[in-house]
Structure 1
């Protein structure tokens, strides 16, 4: 009899989608959603993606609003003194199974007003598995890329409730508040190349 992994089934429908989402609301309370492809796990140079958004206010006028996003990946290595180094991943980087990467997402408010609340989601590529190092704390996670819950995720395995191993996580989400004009917020996580 063949054993099946009870966590693997939800991945089939989501495996082709690797997106991150930014949702921003300004002081007037409007909400906007935008998407961009994340270049993970081996991005070329860091990308800058200005994302144009429409925000409506009560006076029926529209203003173009923007959050500039940049996603980077760095290979973690150790120098001769045992100090950790982050080496940016580029088109010449050769990754091997077992390499540890740190992914960082930078989101800059280029709106005319401060952003009251921003929800940022980053996908975890199929080629890596989440190790931890999730910052800021109090992140949400998903095993299917759709339904998110506060970390650590818990589920039923063989009739027992237990924590779902990080290797099954597909995406992370953070709720960020009070992002001032030209302020940049950063989210990050660490993963191991499979």
Structure 2
């Protein structure tokens, strides 16, 4: 009997020296799909980019390119002298250690000519970190393979019992954001612990 590895990842080992890479998405009618991939270990404070999206009109054969401006940041979560939590931007001099907590934040600005009724934003989770429960906005979708998404928490059947999938197996998080006006910016974030 052949066993399926339900947690196998189709992603290859991350390459390059950038902390983030913004991948093109698709705008179909009034929906924008944007993806952002986070990478380690060579961090940069922030990467500004423009994710190009395609718009297709119903029953029209031509399409026009439109854009969603994006900014992705990573910060080290620490505490100050008063015991208050602070976010310290990750840069080239930041030394990460196992157990450090990072907060990834994605900012996506609608620069299309019209309001977007629904913007779908997907952020990948680097192999070097594991997702923590702190995810905002709440009630996102999660994926253990980067392709199939279900409402979090993900559940699986083990020995005929339904159980939550451990957060260390998550590969990506997705949000459906409603009603993004012209030049409005939406923000998403998640926290992850360095392995």
TM-score, normalized by the shorter chain, greater than 0.5: yes
Cα distance between partner residues in 1 of 2:86 and 2:42? 17
* TM-aligned CA distance change 1:134 to 1:119, over 3 Å: same
Quote how far apart the aligned CAs of 1:174 are.
0.5
TM-score under structure 2 length normalisation:
0.83
Is the contact between residue 41 and residue 128 of structure 1 (CA under 8 Å) also seen in structure 2?
no
Quote how far apart the aligned CAs of 1:91 are.
1.0
- Structure 1: which 5+ residue stretches go unaligned? 1-5
Cα distance between partner residues in 2 of 1:177 and 1:22? 20
Is 1:175 matched with 2:182?
A: no
Is the contact between residue 130 and residue 169 of structure 1 (CA under 8 Å) also seen in structure 2?
yes
> Which residue pairs with 2:113 in the alignment?
112
> Which residue pairs with 1:48 in the alignment?
48
CA RMSD of aligned residues (A): 2.7
Cα distance between partner residues in 2 of 1:105 and 1:47? 10
The secondary structure found in structure 1 opposite 2:66 is strand
* TM-aligned CA distance change 1:120 to 1:7, over 3 Å: farther
The secondary structure found in structure 2 opposite 1:167 is helix
> Which residue pairs with 2:94 in the alignment?
93
- Structure 2: which 5+ residue stretches go unaligned? 15-19
Quote how far apart the aligned CAs of 1:39 are.
3.8
Cα distance between partner residues in 2 of 1:122 and 1:175? 12
Is 1:189 matched with 2:190?
A: yes
- 1:90-169 aligned at under 5 Å gives the runs 90-169=91-170
* TM-aligned CA distance change 1:170 to 1:62, over 3 Å: closer
Is 1:11 matched with 2:12?
A: no
> Which residue pairs with 1:57 in the alignment?
57
Quote how far apart the aligned CAs of 1:22 are.
6.3
The secondary structure found in structure 2 opposite 1:14 is coil
User: May I ask how many residue pairs the two structures share in their alignment?
Assistant: 187
